[in-house]
Structure 1
C-alpha cells in the first residue's frame, strides 16, 4: 500500500487560519476528554496510568500523519484494555508491550490486505446500536466519580454543564468545555473544597516517553504467548476504529480511507509498544467531542496527542488541580451528543428486524462492556435476518401438460444455503410424470449447497423413472453446476 502527500492531504492539514484555530481548540477539548478515560482504562488493563497516557500521546501523533480519517482521535481504549488485562495479569507489562508491537504488525498486514472491506457487512442498524451503546458506556463510566462524593461535586458538574451549554449562546470563539475547565479549576483553587482532582486519579508522567525494546525472550514460546492476545487486540481495535471512522464520515458528510486507517493504526500501535505504551484505537466519545466543536482536519488529531503531553509534563502542577467534576461534565455532554435520539423515534417506523438488531447490539455491548461482542452479535443477527427474508422471496410452482406427460417446475428467487432445502421440499418425488422440466430462468444458484440440493432432486427424480431436464440456468449458475454438479446435466 503506497500513500503520497497529495494536494488533498494538504487541505486535511491546513485550509486557512480560521480552520486551523478551530482544529487546535477542538483538539484541546479532545485532550481533556481523553485524560479520565485513559487513566481509567489503564486501571482496567492493570498497568500504571502513565502507560496509557504515553500510548495516547504516541498513537495520537502517529495517527495524525498515517491515519485515513482526519479529525478522529485515537488513544488507549477500554475495549483493547479488556483484552490486555488477562495478559498483564498472567505475564506482566513487558509481555503486554511485546503484544502491542505485534498488534501493530497484524494491523498493518490487515491494512495491506484491505480487510477494511469487511465493514460493508455492518448494517446501519448495527452502527446505530454501536453509537448508542457507546453513549451509554461513556455515561456509565462517569458514575464512579459521582458516587460517594459530597454535594460540592454535584454542584460543580451542574455548573460545568451549564457553562458547556449556555456559553455557546454568547460566543463560540472558544469551545465551551475549555471555558468550563478553566473556570471550575480556578474556582476550586480559590475556594478549596473536598472534590477529586486529576492528581487523585493516579501517577502522572513527569517526562516524555523514551524508546525501549520490550524485555522478553525472543523465542517461539514468547510468540505463542503473545500472538493470541495481539490478534484479539488487533481485531477489536480495528473494529472500533472502523466504526468510529464511519460515524465521523456521517457527521461530517465526508469519506475516509479505511484501508489507510487500518495500516495507520498499526503503525501507531507498533510505535506505542516501542515507547512503553499499550495498544489503542479510535475513541468515539473524544472524537465526537472534537467534531462537535469544529475539529475537521489532521491538526485537531495532532493537537489532542501533543497537548496531552504538554498538560502532563509542562503544565503538570496546574493539570493536577483540575477537578474531575469538570471532566465528568464534558463526558456527560459527549454522551448526550453521541446518542442517536432519532433512533428511538424510528423504532416504531422501521422494520422490526432492524430495530431488534439495533437493540441487540446495544444490549450485548452494554452488558459485556465489549464493543467487538456487540457489533459481532449485531452483524450475525443482520445476516440471519437477511437470509430469512431472502428465503421468503423464493418460491416453486408447477404445471402439468397431459399431452406430453410433462411436469414443469418453475423456481423463482435466490437459492443458497438457507433456501436450498426449502426449494428441494417443493418437488414431489412420487410424481408419475414421465418427464420433468426444472425451469431456473427466474432463479439464481449462489453456492455449492444450492447445487447439491438441485443435484439431489434430479437424482431422486431419475431414480423414480422420470426424464429430467434442467433449463434456464444463467451464466453464473451454469458455471457452478458444471463444476460442482456435473450429473445435473448429463451428456
Structure 2
C-alpha cells in the first residue's frame, strides 16, 4: 500500500537510505534555526522535523518529498508564542492538522492546479532567494543575547569561504567520477573530517545549540480549553494550514517536474494534516514540505518513501545517541550545501523569458518572487494568483466583438464572438446602438459563452435599452439556464430547439426549475 521499498531494486534502496542520511544531516541546523526563530527550544524544532518527515513519508502523496519544521510556518508562530506561550502553539498545530485533513478529505488539493506557471516560477525563485538570504545569517557575529554585533572577518571568514567552496566543488564534480555515494553526503563528511583533522577554528552545529534529547512524549496542550482559547488559536491555525498546504503542494509540483512522476495532492493534504496533529500532541512545532531538503533528496538519488523514512529515523538517532558527533559538523559545510540547493532550485531559464512571453507574465514572476522574500509564501502565491486572474480577465475582456449583418426582412443580426463575463460586460454594451437599429434585432450567441451573473445582468440591461426605444430584441443560441434566469429578457428570447446548446451548469436552483418544466 505504501510502496516503502520498491521491489527488486536494491540500488534504489541504497540510494534512498544514503539520501536519507544526507537529508538528516542537513536538517539539523535548519530545524534548530527555525525553532530559534519561533522562540521555542531547539528540540521542539528537531522533534517536528522527525515527526513531519516520518509521517508524511508514510502517508503523504509524494514519495521523495521531505517535510519538517520550516521558516514559512515559523514566522507565523512567533507572535503566538511570545504573547501566549508554547502550549498555545501546540494547540494551534493540532488544529492546523485537523484543517489540513479536512482539505484532503474534501479533495480541495486539486485547486493547486489553479496556480499559473508564472506564479510557480516566482514561488521557486523566491524560495531560492529566501534560502540564500537565510544562509547569510551564519556570517553574522552575535553576542550572548543573540543581538548582531558584526560580521565574520579575517581568518575565520577565510576558513568559512574555503569550506563552502570545497563543499560546493565536491557536490558539483564528484558525480562525474562516481555515484556510489551521494555527492552531498561525501561533501559533508569530507568537510567535517578536514575540519577535525586540521583543527580548524570554525563554528559548528554544536555552537548553535545542543541537539541531544530523548524520545518525544505524548502531551496534551496545557491551555484553558474553551471559547476564548479557541478564538486565540483559530486565526493562527488557519494561516498555518494555508501556508503549509500552499508550500507543500507547490513543492509537490516541483518534485513532480524533476522526477517526471505524478503525486497525489489530496493525499498529501491528509498526510500533512496527520503529521501536524501528531506534532501538537507530542511537543513539536509542526511544519510542512521543505523545498531545500526535497531538492537535496532528489539530487542525491532519493525517490521512494524509504528516503523520507530514513531521513526521519537518522534524525531521531542523532537526537538520541549521535548528538556529540553531529554537533562537530561545520556550519560552513552546511551553508555550502544550501548554496548548491539555491543554484539547483532557482529557475535560471526564467531569466531568458524577457521578450519571449507577455510582459504581464514577467511582472507576475517578479511580483511573486519579491513578495515571497519580503513577506511570506502564502501572501506571495495569493497575490500572484489574483494578479494573474486580473490579467486574464483584462485580456479576454477585449476579445468580445460582433459581426453585423442585415436580413432580407430588414432585421439586424449581431453575431457575437468572445466570452461574456464581468470584465467584458461594458464592452458588450458598447457594441450595440439601439437608437440607430431597426425595430427587430437579433443577438446570436452561437460563438459566445455566457460565463457568470454579470453576463446575465448585461443581457438583461441590453433588453431594457431596446425596450425603452420601442424595439424588440431577440436572443438566439442561449443555454436553457440563461433563458430561465433572464427575468426581463426571457419573454423576448427566440428559441431554436434544434440549434440551442444543451450543456448545463451545476446550479441546484436551475436544476429544480428545469425539472419542474
Aligned to 1:438: 443
Q: C-alpha deviations, 1:122-150, integer Å up to 9, x for none?
A: 11111111111111111111112134222
1:100 and 2:102 correspond = no
Cross-structure match for 1:488: 489
Cα offset, 1:432, TM superposition: 5.2
1:470 has 2:475 as partner: yes
In structure 2, C-alpha distance between the alignment counterparts of 1:435 and 1:362, rounded to whole Å: 54
Residue-by-residue CA offset, 1:445-465 (whole Å, 9 max, x unaligned)? 011110101100111211110
Post-superposition shift, 1:168? 2.0
Residue aligning to 1:137: 130
Would the aligned equivalents of 1:14 and 1:20 in 2 still touch at CA under 8 Å?
Answer: no
Q: Give the structure 1 partner of residue 331 of structure 2.
A: 324
CA contact (8 A) 2:3 2:305 kept: no
Contact 1:233 1:279 in 2 (8 A): no
User: Is 1:422 the equivalent of 2:446?
Assistant: no
Distance 1:55 1:14 in 2: 30
| C-alpha contact (below 8 Å) 1:48/1:203 kept by paired residues | no
CA contact under 8 A between 1:106 and 1:231: conserved in structure 2?
A: yes
8 Å Cα contact 2:64-2:307 kept in structure 1: yes
Map 1:216-227 to 2 at 5 A.
216-227=223-234
Q: Conserved in 1, the CA contact under 8 Å of 2:412 and 2:437?
A: no
1:134-173 to 2 correspondence within 5 Å? Answer: 134-147=127-140, 148-149=151-152, 150=156, 151-173=158-180
Deviation (angstroms), 1:405: 4.2
37, 58, 65: which is aligned to 1:65?
Answer: 58
Question: Over residues 250-305 of structure 1, what are the superposed CA-to-partner deviations in whole Å (9 max), with x where a residue is unaligned?
Answer: 00000011100000110000011111011210001110110011000000011111
Partner of 1:128: 121
CA contact (8 A) 2:435 2:469 kept: yes
* Per-residue deviation, 1:208: 1.6
Structure 1 378/15 Cα, relative in aligned 2: closer, same or farther at 3 Å? farther
Q: Distance in 2 between matches of 1:405 and 1:185?
A: 90
| Inter-partner Cα distance in structure 2 for 1:395 and 1:310 | 68
SS at structure 2 position matched to 1:490: helix
Structure 1 Cα separation of the partners of residues 207 and 132 of structure 2: 20
Superposition deviation, residue 10 in structure 1: 2.8
Alignment of 1:278-289 (within 5 A): 278-289=285-296
Task: Report how far residue 404 of structure 1 moved.
Answer: 3.7
Per the alignment, in what secondary structure is the counterpart of residue 469 of structure 1? strand
User: 1-side partners of 2:130 and 2:429: how far apart?
Assistant: 47
* Cα deviation 1:74-118 (Å, max 9, x = unaligned): 001111111111111110100000000010000000100011121
The equivalent of 2:501 in structure 1 is: none
What is the alpha-carbon distance in structure 2 between the residues aligned to residue 169 and residue 405 of structure 1? 79
- CA–CA separation in structure 1 for the residues paired with 2:204 and 2:483: 70
What SS does the aligned partner of 1:397 have?
strand
Give SS of 2:43's match. helix
Post-superposition offset of 1:372: 1.1
Residue 203 of structure 1 and its aligned partner are, at CA, apart by 3.5
Q: How does 1:57-456 map to 2 (within 5 A)?
A: 57-147=50-140, 148-149=151-152, 150=156, 151-368=158-375, 370-400=376-406, 404-431=409-436, 433-456=438-461
- Secondary structure in 2 aligned to 1:436? strand
Provide the rounded CA distance (Å) in 2 between the counterparts of 1:443 and 1:224: 48
Query: Could you state the TM-score of these two structures normalised by the residue count of structure 2?
Result: 0.89
Match of 2:505 in 1: none
- Is the Cα contact below 8 Å between 1:110 and 1:263 reproduced in 2? yes
CA RMSD across the alignment? 1.6
Aligned-residue offset at 1:364: 1.2
Which sits farther off after the overlay, 352-361 or 238-247? 352-361
**What SS does the aligned partner of 2:491 have?**
coil
Does the Cα contact within 8 Å between 2:171 and 2:184 map onto a contact in 1? Answer: yes
8 Å CA contact 1:424, 1:457 repeated in 2: yes
CA distance in 2, matches of 1:246, 1:350: 22
- Kindly tell me the number of residue pairs found equivalent between the two proteins: 478
Q: Deviations over 1:452-488 (max 9, x none)?
A: 0110011121111001111122x3xx31331x21321
Match of 2:495 in 1: none
- Given that 2:95 and 2:277 are in contact with CA atoms closer than 8 Å, whether structure 1 keeps it comes out as yes
Mapped partners of 2:329, 2:307: distance in 1: 22
1:469–1:489 Cα contact (<8 Å) kept: no
The 8 Å contact of residues 123 and 381 in structure 2, kept in 1 or not, is answered as: yes
- 1-side partners of 2:398 and 2:27: how far apart? 48
CA contact (8 A) 2:210 2:323 kept: no
SS at match of 1:294: coil
- Unpaired stretches in structure 2, ≥5 consecutive residues: 141-150, 493-517
Report deviation, 1:371: 1.1
Q: State the 1:352 CA deviation.
A: 2.1
Q: TM-score when scaled to structure 1?
A: 0.94
Q: What SS does the corresponding residue of 1:444 show, helix, strand or coil?
A: strand
